[in-house]
Chain A
């Protein structure tokens, strides 16, 4: 596997770029592994990487039903932020943000992490009060977030319509400067390459059919389309399909799967300097390095696995974008798509052990899993290797739905996220 550097680029350029080697081999399953991870998205591949790098566990397989990074990792709007209200969430997402900072160097892969700032718009008195509460809470947790008045928000993002005549006028905004975007595919590819280099097998086009448990109840391995694969430890990181797989091990999950949609415009010259989110009119927008406006929509109201989603949501989102950014109202949209997100009742993730010995789960990231990728991966690897949660993910248990110790980000933000 070639180490990427200016020198290797130059050398390969001089030989007509004919000597690049594959970035990772397409592995076939062995009979047995120490750890099997179900789902080769950013979270699963990252967990394999941290298992190998930080815990010395290299006999690991990541099993994927489709192609690597083809689920929600390749379908999200690439927004990264950590300005969550509750202490538990702030620590969790800020841990991820710390890892994002150095990820390109660590993986020797440019994940194009760009700290361009995420600005959340306040359109009414409730928004103003709620965001200021978020800002104070964030600052107590050491998470950067500050308040901008309307003029400052306009200066930070010139395309913004701040007219007082707007249906939902901009009354100010919360700005997290450390937040931004990254190239989603590169995150999956970078982790896959770095994990494969340390001996991890990445097995694509191999659906996991069920999880097999032994007579004592503990995990024995997984039944797949390519036969039975033995492992004493199995970690499920399968986003919208997590509850289906967990059910085969007899574990009922507090999850519902919904389609979440996004769309992109035709590419244009750089015009949009940051990420803007508005919970009230429900619009998310940023501009990719290719020049497309990347727009996030909402979840459909009904449970579905269709990876498609309904058009009424797209219409609603685009209407909101045109209201907040009238400059874009003649833009043409190129394509839209959907991913299946697994939503918990309190809109916080579940990351930890399960009632089944040897079975671990990383799920419930809902509409906001991408930003957590390095953090979730790092903490899942820790939990699997040590058979106990790290103190950061210790509150994100499955048991909280029995004890009632919820982390209610749903009520905190009043939107799915």
Chain B
């Protein structure tokens, strides 16, 4: 079971309190009618699916109910950090230096 830190509740809690919500930092197109079929495909269906560091959305559904983002290693399932929605993806090199 994953232990996940909610940045709003400032508490590390079991995975069962949270719902996964897909890859993070995928912005809805500003002007959808201008998009080509390929751009729509990329927005709707293409995901980075990395073997390694993944920025992803979680929702503290059985807690504060709010969305936040996380950086997690998809091989070890270890969370590097979690941060509030709307914040840019943290710089990994700085995170590792801080540890």
Contact = CB atoms under 8 A, between A and B. Distances in A.
A112 interface: no
B75 A306 contact: yes
Interface in B35-80: 37-38, 40-42, 44-47, 49-51, 54, 56, 72, 74-77
B70 to A, nearest CB: 9
Interface stretch (B15-23, B25-33, B82-90): B15-23
A306 B41 CA distance: 28
Contacts of A311: 1
A305 B1 contact: no
A345 B44 contact: yes
A403 B19 contact: no
Query: For chain B, which range describes its interface: under 10, 10 to 19, 20 to 34, or 35 or more residues?
Result: 20 to 34
B9 interface: no
Contact of B74 (A255, A304, A310): A304
A257 B77 CA distance: 13
Residue of A244, A303, A308 with most partner-chain B CB within 10 A: A303
Contacts of A306: 74-77
Residue of B23, B49, B50 with most partner-chain A CB within 10 A: B49
B15 A241 contact: no
Given A310-B1, A312-B1, A304 B77 contact: yes
A137 B60 CA distance: 41
A253 interface: yes
Given A303-B54, A303-B74, A305-B51, A401 B19 contact: no
Given A244-B51, A302-B72, A303-B56, A252 B42 contact: yes
Nearest to A399: B41
A278 interface: no
Contact of B47 (A255, A301, A302, A403): A255
Contacts of B20: 301-302
Interface in A34-74: none
B51 A241 contact: yes
A402 interface: yes
Contact of B46 (A241, A252, A310, A404): A252
Nearest to B38: A402
Contacts of A312: 1, 15-16
Nearest to A342: B49
Given A304-B77, A310-B15, A257 B37 contact: no
Given A305-B51, A312-B16, A253 B74 contact: no
A254 interface: yes
A256 B49 contact: yes
Contacts of A362: none
A181 interface: no
Nearest to B78: A306
Interface in A341-357: 345
Contact of B37 (A305, A310, A402): A402
B2 interface: yes
Nearest to B45: A254
A77 interface: no
A345 B56 CA distance: 17
B74 to A, nearest CB: 5
A303 B49 contact: yes
Given A255-B49, A312-B15, A403 B37 contact: yes
Contacts of B51: 241, 244, 257, 305
B45 A345 contact: yes
A286 interface: no
A256 B56 CA distance: 12
A305 B76 CA distance: 8
Residue of B23, B47, B56 with most partner-chain A CB within 10 A: B47
Contacts of B77: 304, 306, 308
B67 to A, nearest CB: 14
A243 interface: yes
B75 A305 contact: yes
Nearest to A346: B45
Given A308-B77, A310-B1, 13 more contacts: A243-B49, A244-B50, A254-B47, A255-B47, A257-B74, A301-B19, A302-B20, A303-B56, A304-B75, A304-B77, A310-B15, A312-B1, A345-B44
Interface of B: 1-2, 15-16, 19-20, 23, 37-38, 40-42, 44-47, 49-51, 54, 56, 72, 74-77
Q: Give me the 5 closest cross-chain CB pairs, A-B, nearest first.
A: A254-B45, A301-B20, A302-B20, A243-B49, A401-B45
